[in-house]
Amino acid sequence: MSSIIQLLPDHVANQIAAGEVVQRPASVVKELLENAVDAKATDIKLIIKDAGKALVQVIDNGLGMSVTDARLCFERHATSKIRQAEDLFSLHTKGFRGEALASIAAIAHVEMKTKQDQEELGNHIIIEGSKFVSQEPAVLPKGTSFAVKNLFYNIPARRNFLKSETVEFRHVVDEFQRVALAHPNIYFTMYHNGSEMFNLPNSNFRQRIVTIFSGKTNEKLVPVQEETEIVTIQGFVGKPEFAKKNKSEQFFFVNDRYIKSGYLHHAVMNAYDGLLPNGAQPSYFIYLNVPPNTIDINIHPTKTEIKFDDEQALYAILRSAIKHSLGQFNVAPALDFDRDPNLDTPYDYQNKNAEYPTVQVDRTYNPFSDEKQSSPFSGGSSSYKKAETTQSWESLYVGLKQDTLEVENFTFENEEVTASFFDEKEEEQVAKHTYQIQKKYIVSPIKSGMVIINQHRAHQRVLYEQFLTNMTVHQASSQQLLFPLQFHFSANEMKIITELQPALENTGFVFETLNEEYLQISGIPANTSESEVASVLEQLISDLQDGIPDSSFSQNDTIAKSMAKSLAVKTGIYLTEKEQENLVNNLFACKDPNVSPFQKPTFITMRVEDIDKRFAL
């Protein structure tokens, strides 16, 4: 009987490894940028085309590689970072597995140019699908240039799973920002389709954060610093009033490596307890420095999750440090035990009684008297003088009975009386036939039983169809603001709003100013309040970043869903009788009242027979 188990060929093993390491163009960006950082580069350029699908190129001025190293770097498990197993517990570099370049070369066309400083000539290598096409010397500057073209060209199924260009570009920007934030001492630049997206000179942590996120980032940062034997913490957290609905500005770095940790995130949220509204997410940029032997970073292929030896102590230290910073900079409320001496009672008034005010009233005062009476408060006598002669008040109306008003010659314009939205009979029916339960459901009886409507989902369906209709027919109503609203977003978020400006204007927004620095709105949709605009835009940007469809209709659908989700009446809101009736009527006037825009049921019906069965038990 022949053996069943066989060794995989190298090119197949590389493609399997690529499935773990390279999931999308952003994965290639991450690996190449980290290699450039490990090469001790001080200037790194990232060039991408078509969100990385056509080209990902990283150029650095690092150490470069020799002829032998340039060839070996594409072999599996070839690395310069470790020599023995013990080195895994004292890592100070980004990569160490030696699978990244081999995996990338297995699924793309790779062109590498590298040169060491002491060498006269460099090396130019071309690889296509793990096959070496050419390797020859070339005149090159110091450093390494790594170009990855036509990603997943030999795996069409994987390429079909890639999202739209906007979504893939957002993932590339996220990886670029994570590496740039971890190393502010390196000059980073990024280009997309020939245009410069980021230009980040070497600076400190605070300047790097402000340069990347722009806007009013500098105003909302609160420094955090703590040094213990277990961990050294430094970084910044955002003020509570600048909290967002998404987690776009939350970063943890451990030993200059970006990580994701739900445990540490819970410590930060615990420090903000009582300072944030429900659903709000604070901004934070936390840099942790721990001994390398107290962490294990070899538990995830992308190395974004690590394990700490003493997580509980780290949790407590991080939470206390953030709470201390928020209180120190008067962000968190605190009790003030300092006594204000100006509020103390003087000793001279210690035994004095309070003087009560007095009210003097002249009961003989006649307002119809012709004689002027002296007031006791104007230096005269202590009481009013009684008027000697008093005329009858009837004299004021003498002659009015004889003069009659002739109204026959006057004509009055008939005012058109429009019927109210709810007449008296309908108001009586509303009071009798709609009820709100737990500020969540609306109950209305029907012939066969009753209908129970989820007010939040029903309002979502109503708003969704309204917004979609307005964007289709371009007839949205807008309310003008007395004072324009001004918002600050990051450069990437402002680019998204600029692209979607026509669609947003069709929903009722009026843009007075829109540039790279800030956004000014002078008009908002009719059913939106000023306080809701910020949350609506933040939620809209978050939803659109997760997946902007290519077609304009699908794009409008996404915008309508996002705005309906933000503006729909929430659970726990009391609705008046007229509001309940209006919501019910609008729901059943929709094209598809059965489900919300997110395909969840808006109402259920209960028949009388079903209720009878309940009581028959």
How far apart are alpha carbons 483 and 523 in whole angstroms? 10
Contact 292, 255 (CB under 8 A): yes
Rounded (5°) CA angle 211-214-215? 155
pLDDT of res. 380: 45
8 Å CB contact between 295 and 308: yes
Could you tell me which of 453, 467, 446, 434 has the C-alpha nearest to residue 595? 453
CB–CB of 257/289 below 8 Å?
A: no
Model pLDDT, residue 615: 87
Furthest CA-CA distance within the chain:
140
What integer pLDDT is reported at residue 84 of this predicted model?
52
Q: CB of 174 within 8 A of CB of 26?
A: yes
Q: What is the pLDDT of residues 443-502, one digit of tens each?
A: 988 888 889 999 999 999 999 998 888 888 777 778 888 888 888 777 777 878 888 888
User: What's the 3-state SS for 381-406?
Assistant: CCCCCCCCCCCCHHHHHCCCCCCCCC
What pLDDT does 416 receive?
Answer: 53
The C-alpha torsion from 375 through 381 and 384 to 386, rounded to 10°, is -130
pLDDT of residue 224: 93
What is the mean pLDDT of the segment spanning 250-264?
89
| Residue 236: alpha-carbon gap to chain centroid | 18
Helix (H) or strand (E) run with residue 225 in it? strand 221-227
Task: Give the pLDDT confidence score for residue 426 in this predicted structure.
Answer: 45
Question: Distance of CA 6 to CAs 10, 14, 17, 104, 179, Å?
Answer: 12, 16, 17, 24, 40
What is the tens place of the pLDDT at every residue in 385-409?
A: 444 444 566 666 666 555 544 555 5
The 10s digit of each residue's pLDDT in 134-192 is 889 989 999 999 999 998 888 888 888 888 787 888 889 999 999 999 999 999 999 99
Domains and CATH numbers, the chain: 10-200 (3.30.565.10), 205-328 (3.30.230.10), 429-605 (3.30.1370.100)
Residues 533-578 pLDDT 10s: 888 888 888 777 665 454 455 778 888 888 888 889 988 888 888 8
Q: How far apart are CA 614 and CA 617, in angstroms?
A: 6
Long-range Cβ contact pairs of 156-160 (< 8 A, separation 24 or more):
158/19, 158/107, 159/53
Report d(CA 79, CA 94) in Å as an integer: 12
pLDDT at position 124 is: 92
DSSP string, 78-112: --SS-SSGGGGGS--SS--SS-HHHHHHHSSEEEE
Answer for the pair 602, 594: CB distance below 8 angstroms, yes or no: yes
Q: Residue 389 has what pLDDT?
A: 47
pLDDT in tens, 501-519: 888 888 888 888 877 777 8
Q: Which two tokens stand for residue 57?
A: 């190129």
> Distance between CA 219 and CA 238 in Å, rounded?
9
Rounded-to-integer distance, Cα 75 and Cα 294, Å:
30
Average pLDDT over residues 523-532: 84
pLDDT at 343: 62
Q: What is the pLDDT of residues 89-142, one digit of tens each?
A: 555 565 545 567 888 888 889 999 999 988 888 999 999 888 888 889 989 999
Mean local confidence (pLDDT), 32-45: 91
Q: What angle do CA 490, 94, 167 make, to 5 degrees?
A: 35
Of 389, 252, 392, whose CA–CA distance to 322 is shortest? 252
* Segment holding 442, helix H or strand E: strand 441-446
**Across all residues in the chain, what is the average pLDDT?**
80
